[in-house]
Amino acid sequence: SILFYAETRARAQAPRASLGMGDSSWHPPTRWQMFRTFLERRIMGSDPTSREVVDAIAKAQNFLKEQSMLYRLYPPRRIEHLLTFGASVGEGGFGTVFIGMPTARAVTKIPVLTQGQRYAVKKMALWDVSSRGIFVKAIEDGRRPERIREFFAEMRRVQCSETETHLLRHYVAMVEIPRAVFLVMELCQGPDLLQWMSERCTYPEEAVVAPLVRQTMLALDHLHTRFGALHRDIKPENLMFRRACSEGAPLPPLVLIDFGLTHILPAPCDHESIRKVAPLPRCGTPLYFAPECWQHKAGPPSDIWAVGLVAYSLLSLDLPFKLLQVRKPAEAVAKGKLEFPEDRGWLEVSDEGKAFVSGCVERVPYRRPTAAEALASDWLTSPGARGDDGDSEMPAVRCCRSESVPQMHARTRAEGFGSLWQCAATECEGDESGDESQSPPAGAAASQSDDTGG
């Protein structure tokens, strides 16, 4: 059907004299012409400016192709020619993740892939707008092609870097025309942070939690200042260990995953823009929304708020403002009081740890620390908080310790954390109540437009 449409369009646009019987001046369209026609037909519809937009898309895609980060498969070629699939390892709102290995042909065509290496492969519907995620949305964004190139150039640097950035590595997007997109990523062997918490039989020690929060802040600092992007869905489920965790052994590095809701900013954050919020569609997990997110605003401080909630949950296996119990989280974060109940593990947490959490969940966005400022805080620079350059300095993790709260109570809190979150997230869908966000002083208001990932 694509070929027929392309041929019909080509004949309609050809000079009338060239359509005579036996004329050989017309040739069947190339694969690239077919793909461009398909883009115009399926994405842009009858928009009279579609050709200009498709031209911009083509430039962005050509850049990705040059970087070996995009590979297109045209019929009759199928994804099975490049990847062999194993078991499914997860399923989310943006697609299903499988274990995949590249074929010999894939290794030849796509140099970034390694023969025999296992990867996480996320399958997403190509033309379902709600499921495409940041990678496909970005290559379709014709408004800011130069900015998109900068974003993916940085992604390539992370992919090739030997320095730990605590960001999940993305290798290539395989577009199977016209069916689906297969995003090939690094395969993490360890559990996510929520699963790790649910397996705890006591509250995690502060010396264990601080390095995990530090690694999360390192990833966020890189995302804000180097990528120039907002994650917008930071939560324990989107933080995963690179390798399996072993009892009594140092914890492996933690990485930030799932960039399906990422918003690419007009430019990487500087010392002024990093404290600003701007009108953006509300998206993500309601329990981790900052107060301004309920008012349809977001910015780097919104990600910091979410990290503060992750730190709170790691230290107490709970969320502040009674978010796991209330039915209106917007009202809870706008009016609730931040408390550190002693029966939830806070008796053993230092004043520095409490001050760190309090600063991250400050209701006024510009008063929250930046990721760089958080990394310089007393709590994350203490000897027990190191371990950001790998796992050599990470403390060993003990499964149990008797001097804490009763173990049965802690285990019940941990095992119920996931189910309580599911219930609370369901109940708060669509809730828009809450106080208006406080306005920053002159010079601290922002306007960061052009939502690519939302």
Structural contact between residues 203 and 404, judged by C-beta atoms closer than 8 angstroms: yes
Structural contact between residues 94 and 181, judged by C-beta atoms closer than 8 angstroms: no
For helices 31-39 and 50-66, give the axis angle rounded to 10 degrees: 130
Name the DSSP letter for residue 97: E
Of 305, 328, 323, 312, nearest in space to 420 by CA: 323
Of 66, 82, 72, 162, nearest in space to 121 by CA: 82
Q: Which residues contact 211 (CB under 8 A, 6 or more apart)?
A: 251, 384, 385, 386, 387, 388, 393, 394, 395
Of 182, 156, 180, 151, nearest in space to 170 by CA: 156
d(CA 403, CA 87) in angstroms, rounded, equals: 42
Structural contact between residues 251 and 204, judged by C-beta atoms closer than 8 angstroms: no
122 annotated ligand-binding residue: yes
Q: Where is 11: in which H helix or E strand?
A: helix 2-13
Which residues define the annotated binding site for ATP? 122
- Binding site feature residues: 122
